[in-house]
Amino acid sequence: MDLFETLVDDHRLISRVLNALGGFLDEAESSGVLDFVELNRFIVFFRDFVELLHHEREEEILFPAMESVGYSKKGAPLAHIHDQHERECALLLRLRKLAVATSPAAAARQARVLETGRELIEFEQAHMQQENDLLYPAMKKEFSGQTLAALSRKLNTGQAAERRATDQAWLKTLADELVRAHT
């Protein structure tokens, strides 16, 4: 797979887990019981897969390639995507803090988890759609065949590639478990 196929494939997996998170949140709301262990399993997936693995592919491989063909780090679309990544991280951090907090009271904490989780789902789905529909197709056209091949090699070689493959394998297993349990 080339870099863009990998990124879109990442988005498919993330979307499946976001849908499962929505199911989990609906279950919690209807039962009045929020399973914080299960919430933390979702958080581990989003932290490790989205923030560390997927964003690394974009920010360490795609964005420098975009800069090499003239896109400014401080201009559109790079600055906008970076801002969106920061917002994703902030939403996930808020959810992580709620998952480990000992206060406020259970009902208030649960309501904040539900609100933050749903905000994360909505934001993430819109962000991925923009990248899939606008950014990736435009960048794939922008890069020559040689550049695209070099980006794909960079994705699949080096010490980091082996770590990414190992991380991705267990995170896909976790994703499948979450999807089966909450879809």
Q: Tell me how far apart the alpha carbons of residues 91 and 96 are, in angstroms, rounded to a whole number.
A: 9
Mean pLDDT, consecutive 10-residue stretches, the chain (183 aa), reads 92 98 97 93 96 90 91 92 95 94 79 97 97 94 83 76 82 97 94
Question: What pLDDT was estimated at residue 153?
Answer: 82
Question: What pLDDT was estimated at residue 105?
Answer: 65
Question: What pLDDT was estimated at residue 104?
Answer: 62
Question: What pLDDT was estimated at residue 145?
Answer: 79
User: Amino acid identity, residue 36?
Assistant: F
Q: At what angle do helices 3-31 and 106-130 cross, to 10 degrees?
A: 150
Which residues form the domain of 128? 3-182
Asked if residues 142 and 23 have their Cβ atoms less than 8 Å apart, the reply is no
Sign for the CA dihedral angle at 18, 76, 168, 152 comes to positive
Question: What pLDDT was estimated at residue 79?
Answer: 94
Asked if residues 178 and 17 have their Cβ atoms less than 8 Å apart, the reply is yes
The label of the residue with tokens 């349990």 reads 181
CATH number assigned to the domain comprising residue 97: 1.20.120.520
For the whole model, what pTM was predicted? 0.94
Q: CB count, 10 Å around CB of 103? A: 7
CA angle at 96 for the pair 109 and 34, rounded to the nearest 5°: 45
Q: How many domains does the chain divide into? A: 1
User: Amino acid identity, residue 137?
Assistant: P
DSSP 8-class letter at 74? T
Question: What pLDDT was estimated at residue 6?
Answer: 93
